[in-house]
A and B are shown apart, each in its own frame.
Chain A
Amino acid sequence: MRKVLFYAPLAAFLALALFLLSGLFSDPRERASAIVDKPLPEFALADLMQPDKIWTAEALKGETYLLNVWGVWCPTCNAELGYLTELREQGVKIVGLYYELPRDPAFDAPFDLSVLQRDVSEKLTQNGNPYQFNILDLDRSLSLDLGVSGAPETFIIDASGIVRAHHIGDINPQVWRAKLAPLYQQWSQP
Chain B
Amino acid sequence: MIAEAGQLALTFAFALALLLALVPLYGSFVANQRMLLLAKPLAFGQFIFCLLAMAALIYAFRTNDFTVINVAQNSSSTLPWYYQITASFGSHEGSMLLWVLMLAGWTALVAQYSKALPLLLQGRILGILGIICVGFVAFSLFMSNPFERSLPFFPVEGRDLNPLLQDFGMIMHPPTLYMGYVGFAVAFAFALAALISGRFDSVWARWVRPWALSAWLFLTLGIMLGSWWAYKELGWGGWWFWDPVENASFMPWLAGTALIHSLAVTEKRGTFKSWTVLLALAAFALSLVGAFLVRSGVLVSVHSFATDPGRGMYLLVFLLLVVGGSLLLYGSRMNSVRSQARYQLFSREMMLWGNNVFLLTACLIVFLGTLFPLFHKELGLGSISIGEPFFNQMFYYLTIPFALMLGLGPWVRWKQQQLVPLIKPFGLVLIATLMLALGTLALMQSVQANLALLGLLLGAWVGVSALAEVMLRLKQFGSVTAGVSKLNASHYGMTLAHIGFAVLVIGVAMTKTYTVERDVRMQEGDTVTVSGYDFTLQEVYALNGPNYGGEAAELDVHKNGRFVTHLHAEKRFYRIQSTIMTEAAIHARLSRDLFVSLGEALPGNAWALRIHVKPFVRWIWLGGLLMSLGALVALCDKKYRRKLTGNGEAHA
Q: Taking the complex as a whole, does A directly touch B, i.e. does some CB pair lie under 8 Å apart?
A: yes
Contact of A20 among B300, B316, B327, B330 (CB under 8 A): B316
Any B CB within 8 A of the CB of A10: yes
CA distance A20 to B377 in the complex (A): 12
Are the CB atoms of A29 and B300 closer together than 8 Å? yes
CA distance A77 to B278 in the complex (A): 52
CA distance A143 to B124 in the complex (A): 62
Chain B interface main SS type: helix
- 16 further A-B contacts with Cβ under 8 Å, apart from A17-B319, A26-B377, are A6-B274, A6-B331, A6-B332, A9-B281, A9-B327, A10-B324, A17-B324, A19-B378, A22-B378, A23-B299, A24-B309, A24-B312, A28-B298, A28-B299, A32-B382, A104-B600
Any A CB within 8 A of the CB of B371: yes
User: Can you name the residue of chain B whose Cβ is closest to the Cβ of A15?
Assistant: B375
Q: What 0/1 pattern do residues 196 to 209 of B give for CB contact below 8 A with A? A: 00000000000000
Given A28-B297, A105-B603, A106-B602, A9–B331 Cβ distance below 8 Å?
yes
CA distance A30 to B330 in the complex (A): 38
Across-interface contacts of A19 in B (CB, < 8 A) = 371, 374-375, 378
Contact of A31 among B285, B319, B383, B603 (CB under 8 A): B383
- Contact residues of B between 354 and 374, Cβ < 8 Å to A: 371, 374
Instruction: Tally the A-B contacts, defined by beta carbons under 8 Å.
Output: 78
Across-interface contacts of A25 in B (CB, < 8 A) = 309
CA distance A16 to B327 in the complex (A): 13
Contact of B330 among A3, A10, A22 (CB under 8 A): A10
Q: What 0/1 pattern do residues 295 to 316 of B give for CB contact below 8 A with A? A: 0111110000000010011001
Given A105-B602, A107-B601, A23–B331 Cβ distance below 8 Å?
no
- Contact residues of B between 147 and 170, Cβ < 8 Å to A: none
Across-interface contacts of B313 in A (CB, < 8 A) = 24
Any A CB within 8 A of the CB of B411: no
Are the CB atoms of B298 and A10 closer together than 8 Å? no
User: Can you name the residue of chain A whose Cβ is closest to the Cβ of B602?
Assistant: A106
Among A7, A25, A28, chain B packs the most CB atoms within 10 A around the CB of: A28
Across-interface contacts of B371 in A (CB, < 8 A) = 16, 19
Any A CB within 8 A of the CB of B520: no
- Contact residues of B between 558 and 614, Cβ < 8 Å to A: 600-603
Given A2-B335, A104-B600, A17–B320 Cβ distance below 8 Å?
yes
Any A CB within 8 A of the CB of B334: yes
CA distance A119 to B159 in the complex (A): 31
Are the CB atoms of B383 and A32 closer together than 8 Å? yes
Give 10 A-B contacts (CB < 8 Å), ordered by A residue.
Answer: A6-B335, A13-B324, A17-B316, A17-B320, A21-B316, A23-B298, A28-B297, A31-B382, A105-B602, A106-B600
- Contact residues of B between 71 and 85, Cβ < 8 Å to A: none
Given A10-B328, A19-B371, A20-B298, A106–B378 Cβ distance below 8 Å?
no
The 10 closest A-B pairs by CB, nearest first: A23-B298, A31-B383, A7-B331, A10-B327, A106-B601, A32-B382, A105-B603, A6-B334, A6-B331, A28-B300
Are the CB atoms of A24 and B296 closer together than 8 Å? yes
CA distance A29 to B297 in the complex (A): 10
- Contact residues of B between 310 and 345, Cβ < 8 Å to A: 312-313, 316, 319-320, 323-324, 327-328, 330-332, 334-335
CA distance A14 to B324 in the complex (A): 7
CA distance A107 to B297 in the complex (A): 37
- Contact residues of A between 86 and 135, Cβ < 8 Å to B: 104-107
User: Can you name the residue of chain B whose Cβ is closest to the Cβ of A32?
Assistant: B382
Across-interface contacts of A2 in B (CB, < 8 A) = 335
Q: What 0/1 pattern do residues 405 to 433 of B give for CB contact below 8 A with A? A: 00000000000000000000000000000
CA distance A13 to B603 in the complex (A): 57
Any A CB within 8 A of the CB of B253: no
Any A CB within 8 A of the CB of B292: yes
Across-interface contacts of A9 in B (CB, < 8 A) = 278, 281-282, 327, 330-331
Minimum CB–CB distance from B191 to chain A (whole Å) comes to 12
Across-interface contacts of A24 in B (CB, < 8 A) = 296-298, 309, 312-313, 316
Are the CB atoms of B378 and A26 closer together than 8 Å? yes
Minimum CB–CB distance from B353 to chain A (whole Å) comes to 17
Across-interface contacts of A106 in B (CB, < 8 A) = 600-603
Across-interface contacts of B309 in A (CB, < 8 A) = 24-25
